[in-house]
Amino acid sequence: MEDRREIGFLLNGDEVRLSEVGAEDMVLDFLRLQCRLTGTREGCAEGDCGACTVLVGRLAGGGLVL
């Protein structure tokens, strides 16, 4: 059975909450297909180049805490 959890993040300064996120879902697909931010591109497709890097932290005191 696939584990699904809610995630929240900031996208261009706006808070986004997704309640149906799978372990193999890609941020790239969300940005390009759902948000139509087609300037976002896949880099090396292997995780080596860093183009797919995502900052993980929490909101506190009006900012992001890593």
**How far is Cα 36 from Cα 30, in angstroms, rounded to an integer?**
8
Query: pLDDT tens across 15-59, in order?
Result: 899 888 888 888 888 999 999 998 888 888 887 887 777 778 887
Mean pLDDT across the stretch 6-16? 85
> Residue 64 — very low, low, confident or very high, per pLDDT cuts 50/70/90?
confident
For the entire predicted model, the pTM comes to: 0.65
Tell me which CATH homologous superfamily contains domain 5-65: Beta-grasp domain (3.10.20.30)
Per the listing, tokens 């959890």 go with: 5
Residue 58 makes CB contacts below 8 A (sequence gap 6+) with 64, 65
Dig out the tokens for 3 from the structure. 């584990």
